[in-house]
């Protein structure tokens, strides 16, 4: 399968689906990542550009996925970008990688860039119905980002609802944490959600919901067989 991870910022891929990316890559699937804001100019304690590029590649190697592409959309300002520009950027890479499965943000995240990314992905997911020679998109999943998805205010929008669980092993957890830790000054001490302890705790909680020791949870938007039914 050709799987595309579409996220707003560097580190979102590891926080939202790092264990699953590692597991999919181990299983021989082609996994590519599209990061819409490759510079994160508004990030506090932002590393230098060369350092950030190094961090992105270190995180990619930790997870074992194939390609990463970076957009130049302004950090924490996706709402100022024409929706069509975001959609077309994602469509370009769906077509380039012949993507069949997409993982992206939940549209009710507290971070508005995540919301805009999810909306653009939903529009781009129809590309195969409008363009010849583009493989049919088979599945689309929303992910949860610690310190964003669960921080959204209740009653504001429809919340994240886990309905798909990908079983992980300890090597997947280690890769997930290593990928986030590759980004300078992103990890935080306990009790912050982006601590290694709480990242592991979430995978244990999600695992307990599905009868596993560890798991990552996703909200399946559409698709036939889910990934857990493919013997992962």
Q: What is the mean pLDDT of residues 13-37?
A: 97
pLDDT at 231 over 50: no
DSSP for residue 47: P
Neighbours of 160 (CB within 10 A): 21
Burial class (CB in 10 A: 0-12, 13-18, 19+), 24: buried
pTM above 0.85, yes or no: yes
Q: Which residue has the higher pLDDT, 116 or 131?
A: 116
Residue 200, burial from CB neighbour count under 10 angstroms (0-12, 13-18, 19+)? middle
pLDDT reading at 66 higher than 50: yes
In this predicted model, what pLDDT tens digit does every residue of 149-167 receive, in sequence order?
999 988 878 999 999 999 9
- Coil, helix or strand at residue 75: coil
Any idea which of 5-19, 45-59, 110-124, 136-150 has the lowest mean pLDDT? 45-59
pLDDT at 229 over 90: no
Asked which of 35-44, 83-92, 95-104, 136-145 is least confident by mean pLDDT, the reply is 35-44
Write down the pLDDT at residue 33.
98
What single-letter DSSP state applies at residue 77?
-
Which percentage of the chain shows pLDDT scores above 90? 86
The CATH number of 2-218 is which of 3.40.50.720, 3.40.50.10800, 1.25.40.340, 3.40.50.10320? 3.40.50.10320
């Amino acid at each position: 399968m050709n799987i595309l991870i579409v996220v707003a910022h560097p580190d979102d891929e590891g926080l939202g689906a790092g264990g699953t990316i590692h597991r999919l890559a181990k299983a021989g699937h082609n996994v590519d990542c599209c990061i819409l804001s490759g510079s994160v100019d508004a990030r506090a304690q932002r590393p230098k550009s060369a350092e950030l590029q190094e961090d992105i590649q270190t995180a990619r190697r930790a997870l074992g996925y194939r390609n990463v592409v970076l957009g130049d959309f302004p950090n924490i300002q996706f709402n100022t970008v024409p929706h069509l520009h975001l959609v077309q950027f994602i469509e370009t890479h769906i077509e380039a990688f012949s993507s069949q499965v997409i993982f992206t943000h939940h549209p009710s995240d507290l971070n508005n860039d995540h919301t805009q990314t999810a909306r653009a992905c939903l529009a781009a997911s129809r590309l195969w119905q409008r363009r010849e020679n583009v493989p049919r998109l088979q599945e689309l999943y929303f992910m949860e980002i610690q310190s964003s998805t669960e921080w959204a205010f209740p009653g504001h929008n429809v919340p994240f609802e886990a309905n798909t669980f990908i079983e992980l092993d300890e090597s997947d957890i280690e890769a997930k944490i290593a990928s986030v830790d590759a980004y300078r000054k992103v990890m935080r001490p306990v009790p912050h959600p982006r601590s290694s302890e709480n990242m592991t705790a979430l995978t244990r909680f999600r695992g307990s919901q599905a009868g596993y020791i560890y798991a990552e949870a996703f909200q399946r938007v559409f698709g036939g067989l889910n990934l857990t039914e493919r013997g992962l």
